[in-house]
Amino acid sequence: MNKKDIWRYKSLEQLENKSWGTATEEDSGLIKKCIALSKVPVVKLTASELRVLIGQSFNPTYLVPLAVEILKDNVLVEAGLYPGDLLKNVLDVPTPFWEEHQDLHENVKDLIRQRSEEIETEIDLPGFWRNA
């Protein structure tokens, strides 16, 4: 294993050095799910779990690269809701993240360019991504 990939085998709690605590009975199902997922090594997260965490604004620095790997294999993967739902959540990550991570930005732009017709029939591209 490459030393630079060690982060993949850590949970969000370990990577951020922050505990999300334990879910309570009063917490919603979504909160309970996110707290549980924050304790799982990020490499083990499924497309659906990545969609949820990215959609809830959990740390994109660790989650978006994993999502992009999945999207390279299937740009319109259905991650629990509809075809392209993981892509939609990735595209909704705020612009400052993409400005800071130009390599990922270029990877996603390439995916969009290569599959633009197919993507645009399934999801509405946010303005930032139109004419990628």
Domain span at residue 78?
Answer: 9-129
pLDDT of amino acid 1: 59
Domain count, the chain: 1
R_g of the chain, CA atoms, integer Å? 15
Answer for the pair 118, 112: CB distance below 8 angstroms, yes or no: no
Alpha carbon 56 to chain centroid, angstroms: 10
Q: Which amino acid would we find at residue 38? A: S
- Report phi then psi at 59, rounded to 5: -50, 105
Could you tell me the pTM of the whole model?
0.91
pLDDT tens-place string over residues 75-97: 999 999 999 999 999 999 999 99
In a domain? residue 2: no
In a domain? residue 91: yes
The conformational region for residue 112 under phi > 0 = left, psi -120 to 50 = alpha, else beta, is alpha
